[in-house]
Amino acid sequence: MIQNERISKLNQKRISSGSYVLYWMQASQRSRCNHSLEFAIREANDHNEPILVYFGLTERYPEANERHYRFMLEGLKEVQSSLRQRKIQMVIGHESPVDGAVRLSKKASQVVCDYGYLKIQRRWRQYLAQNTNCPCLQVESDIVVPVEQASSKEEYTAATLRPKIRKLLPRYLVPLEEQEPRLTSLHLDFDSLDLTDIEETVAKLDIDRSVSRTDSLQGGTSHAEQRLEEFISEKLDQYPELRNNPTTNYLSNMSPYLHFGQISPLYIALKVLKAENPNSDAFLEELIIRRELSINFVFYNQNYDSFNGLPRWVRDTLSEHKQDPRQYEYSLDDLEKAGTHDPYWNAAQRQMAVIAKMHGYMRMYWGKKIIEWSKTPEEAFQRCLYLNNKYELDGRDANGFAGVAWCFGKHDRPWAARPVFGNVRYMSSDGLKRKFDADKYAKRYSPKEGKISLESNFEDDV
């Protein structure tokens, strides 16, 4: 089922005669459980036309580096192959995504695109709508409840958004029926980037190579689904009690795949519900409520990537304590190289740098300490974004921006005042030790421990 609320017109142009229906795939990089793709197939079938899928690969996407490109291309290779089996041609253009979409739209009867919440994504879609001569429709598939249906404003906390989403879940938490195209597009003659050899393709790209690939995660829907099955069968039972313990591996590790649209949040939610596990609610709170709160933040707050996007009380209290003395001050280079006095913070930074993903609980501590060790809160905010976006596979998206903002008080409440932080929540190393074996965590991500992997089993540590 594709609910009408997922579909929005980006322009008012009339359907014209064309050679195909164009689906510009950019955010939803998958062939399964993709409302945008299924809507495009439905439109193509209704007008007796083939469907052409296009993806634009720019070498200049903000803050993207070799680590991100490789993971994404691994997924795109799988998508292209999967679509081919459905008699759908996928063209991967080595160009500005929106320029390529405009170019291919000239022979299309209409254009369907997926939804983008960040500023650059919204600008791209606006430009397409203005520069194509056919209808342009946007279909929302990377969220369970469409963002504007859930709320018409920026929400203060999860507590204010939760009842609104829960009220709408019966309508949107339903399976998506997939259909096959009546006509093939495989015969259409288009040039496309060759993804046969990912290593060779990545080597030819003129991209930032400051951060190399990670062996801990491989891109693609099949890998995402495999991890999800393992999580449901092996970890969901203890998820509520162990998810905040970074010395155990009880997270789903879905965030990198969600970031690139390689798996649908709806697909994940339905799989978890089907398991009928009593602990499902704790996981769905994170997947739906917390994730969609992040999307609400970047959609309604155009300053989501700056200190000015934080709540007024946060900016005021941090500014009031800007001149407070810092016991430690570190340069950005010190932080990036995990060169602080704090072994737990250093371990978190190394975990992120090596495996492209930091444990969620440690990411909160990591961000709080950057506030404490920077000259100003504005500097701290930019440092958090820089490091998070550079190394994390799940950075540079709504969850990443909201996660950094949370460290500064977004979606939180004022706490008792203290130096440097004012009324913003504080976290300490003693707090870590009360919750889990922090020394065990630090040892695991020590450079002396050798190769670090996402699958590390802490139970085997001495």
pLDDT value, residue 1: 83
Residue 209 is predicted with a pLDDT of: 96
How many CB atoms sit inside 10 A of residue 175's CB?
Answer: 10
* Bridge partners, 125 (sequence order): none
For the chain, the residue count is 462
Asked if the structure places residue 338 within a domain, the reply is yes
Cα distance between residue 147 and residue 162, in whole Å: 13
At 249 the pLDDT is 87
The torsion angle over the Cα atoms of residues 117, 120, 125 and 127, rounded to 10 degrees, is 150
Q: 441: closest CA among 385, 361, 384, 372?
A: 361
Exposure string over 29-63, b if 16+ CB within 10 A, otherwise e = bbbbbbbbbbbbbbbbbeeebbbbbbbbbbeebee
Alpha carbon distance 358, 353 (integer Å): 9
Tokens representing 360 are 């969620």
Domain contains 43: no
At position 85, the amino acid (one-letter code) is Q
Q: Report the C-alpha dihedral over residues 161, 316, 371, 354, rounded to 10 degrees.
A: 30
Query: What are the angstrom distances between the C-alpha of 323 and each of 118, 318, 319, 409?
Result: 33, 10, 8, 19
Q: Which tokens is 455 given?
A: 């699958």
Under DSSP, the state recorded for 191 is -
234, part of any domain: no
Q: Does 393 map to a domain?
A: yes
Amino acid (1-letter code) at residue 4: N
| Euclidean distance between CA atoms 356 and 214, whole angstroms | 7
SS (H, E, C) 408-436: CCCCCCCCCCECCCECCCCCCHHHHHHHC
- The CATH code of the domain that includes 410 is 1.10.579.10
Could you give the number of structural domains in the chain?
1
**pLDDT in the model for residue 447:** 79
Contact partners, residue 83, CB within 8 Å, separation at least 6: 31, 53, 89, 90
Geometric angle at alpha carbon 166, from 163 and 168, rounded to 5°: 115
Question: In angstroms, rounded to a whole number, what is the distance separating the alpha carbons of residues 212 and 252?
Answer: 23
Q: Is residue 50 part of a domain?
A: no
- Backbone CA torsion sign across 344, 346, 349, 355: negative
DSSP assignment of 297-326 equals HHHH-TTTTSGGGS-HHHHHHHHHTTTSPP
SS3 295: helix
Characterize the bridge pairing of strands 20-24 and 108-114. parallel
- pLDDT of amino acid 17: 87
Distance CA 29, CA 34 (A): 9
Q: What is the pLDDT of residue 459?
A: 37
Q: What is the pLDDT of residue 16?
A: 82
Taking alpha carbons only, the member of 392, 347, 386, 152 closest to residue 253 is: 392
Q: What pLDDT sits at residue 457? A: 43
In a domain, 110, yes or no: no
Question: What is the residue range of 419's domain?
Answer: 304-449
Q: What is the pLDDT of residue 92?
A: 98
Each residue's pLDDT expressed in tens, for the chain with a length of 462 residues: 899 999 999 999 998 889 999 999 999 999 999 999 999 999 999 999 999 999 999 999 999 999 999 999 999 999 999 999 999 999 999 999 999 999 999 999 999 999 999 999 999 999 999 999 999 999 999 999 999 999 999 999 999 999 999 999 999 999 999 999 999 999 999 999 999 999 999 999 999 999 999 988 999 999 999 999 999 999 999 999 999 999 998 999 999 999 999 999 999 999 999 999 999 999 999 999 999 999 999 999 999 999 999 999 999 999 999 999 999 999 999 999 999 999 999 999 999 999 999 999 999 999 999 999 999 999 999 999 999 999 999 999 999 999 999 999 999 999 999 999 999 999 999 999 999 999 999 999 987 655 555 555 433 332
255 occurs within a structural domain: no
Alpha carbons 102 and 93: distance in angstroms, whole number: 12
Would you state the pLDDT for residue 460? 34
Q: Which residues of 362-384 are buried (b: 16+ CB within 10 A; e: fewer)?
A: bbbbbbbbbbbbbeebbebbbbb
Helix (H, G, I), strand (E, B) or coil at 127: helix
CB 271 within 8 A of CB 252: no
Q: Does some domain include residue 2?
A: no
User: Cα separation of 371 and 321, whole Å?
Assistant: 11
Long-range residue pairs from 193-199, CB within 8 A, at least 24 positions apart, any chain: 193/57, 193/92, 193/93, 193/94, 195/73, 195/76, 195/77, 195/80, 195/92, 198/70, 198/73, 198/74, 198/77
Task: In whole angstroms, give the CA distance from residue 427 to residue 191.
Answer: 53
